[in-house]
Amino acid sequence: MLFSSGYLKQILSLLVLMLFLSACQPSSQQPLQRHLQAAGGAYAADISADARYSVVSSTLRGIDLWDIEKNQIIYNWSQQQDTANNLVLLIDIAANNSHVLTANRKAFALWNMKTGQSEGYWQVRESNIRDIAVANNGRYLLIGKSNGVVVHVTPATGRRLEFLGHHEKINSVDMLPNGRVAISGGNDFVAYVWDTKTGQVIYRFNHPTRVSKVALDPKGRYAFTADSRKTANIWDLKTGKLISKLKYTQRQEIFSTVRFSADGKTLLTGSPSRKVSVWSIATGERLTEWFVPPKDKKRASGAVVYSVAFGDKIKNQHIVYTLSSSGYLEKWLIPQ
């Protein structure tokens, strides 16, 4: 049987693509473990930095704090979810596992992870809450709003510092564990790193389109900023200089969650399209990628990856945890 040169080129291109995709997948196409943490799906979720705990928001149970290793619920917090219009859509766990900050569009609450008790509930007077962050021991709270204002709150004293550098809606915020440095990104195409004590700008990172995601390395080494089109950067937090740009071939890539590795070598990201990726911080190259399963494998459905975290290594292979809108926490084995 004879084939045209064009047909043979298509076959070769397909084979190359298949080899590339197989090289970019984790060692197992299926997770090592899969635990349902939100029957009916999740509206928000976060995994702790050490992958010991997770917090999940759902309509059926409100807010649950989970012990991941034991696969059991520690506390249930449903005080913020009295009605369907009061759903918790934002969750952040402090880096030292002391507190959890939760929020809906109009209010935010601080929870003690050791006692299970609420340590405060606040309502915003104007605009909507867009993103949140909490410092160690719940000492400081960061609230990004739709009116372009980012508020740094000290619960113990009631001090409120408003950062007014943005001119449009805030999309993403983050804060170092000590609460002294914050980062924020908005629809004005700018990400700012700023001092939470004085409100002074430390760095300004410009983007060609709206900034959709920002994050800080908890150890203070890096900053991450990404826009809504095709620019995602890793910056040196000490100098403000660009370290690398994430390299991807798609027209655009949106990030719903970001996590820096403890050794400072890799970046872990999740997306609204079920994709999870591991990147080299030094080069911006994608080291591996895969997709979390949808809620119902029998139907074509999507899932937003809400949170990702690195676990302990097993024989030089990384363990990665993912938690998505499907309501499932999944554990993956990734080649070194």
Query: CB of 211 within 8 A of CB of 172?
Result: yes
Structure tokens at 17: 């693509």
DSSP state of 138: G
Task: Return the minimum-mean-pLDDT range out of 7-21, 56-70, 281-295.
Answer: 7-21
Per this entry, what is the length of the chain?
A: 336
- Could you tell me which of 245, 301, 249 has the C-alpha nearest to residue 273? 301
The CA distance from 278 to 243, in Å, is: 16
- Could you tell me which of 262, 259, 267, 261 has the C-alpha nearest to residue 243? 267
pLDDT tens-digit readout, 226-238: 999 889 999 999 9
Domains and CATH numbers, the chain: 26-334 (2.130.10.10)
**Hey, what long-range contacts does 153-157 have (CB within 8 A, 24 or more apart)?**
153/122, 155/110, 155/119, 155/120
Confidence at 85, pLDDT banded by 50, 70, 90 = low
The CA distance from 142 to 160, in Å, is: 10
Structure tokens at 297: 């494998």
The CA distance from 291 to 93, in Å, is: 24
pLDDT at 297: 63
pLDDT beyond 70 at 222:
yes
pLDDT average, residue stretch 205-209: 97
pLDDT average, residue stretch 60-72: 96
- Could you tell me which of 291, 247, 287, 243 has the C-alpha nearest to residue 266? 287
Q: What is the mean pLDDT of the chain?
A: 89
Structure tokens at 47: 């995994």
Confidence at 260, pLDDT banded by 50, 70, 90 = very high
The Cα-based distances of 111 to 78, 91, 156, 252, 272 in angstroms read 12, 11, 14, 36, 27
The CA distance from 327 to 294, in Å, is: 10
pLDDT average, residue stretch 145-165: 98
Please provide residue 57's backbone torsions phi and psi, each rounded to the nearest 5 degrees: -110, 130
pLDDT average, residue stretch 105-114: 97
Beta strands 201-206 and 107-112, pairing class: unpaired
User: What would the DSSP string read from start to end of 84-110?
Assistant: GGG---EEEE-TTSSEEEEE-SSEEEE
The CA distance from 256 to 195, in Å, is: 25
pTM given for the model: 0.90
Beta strands 141-145 and 150-154, pairing class: antiparallel
Residues 6+ away with beta carbon under 8 Å from 221: 236, 237, 238, 260, 264
Query: CB of 210 within 8 A of CB of 187?
Result: yes
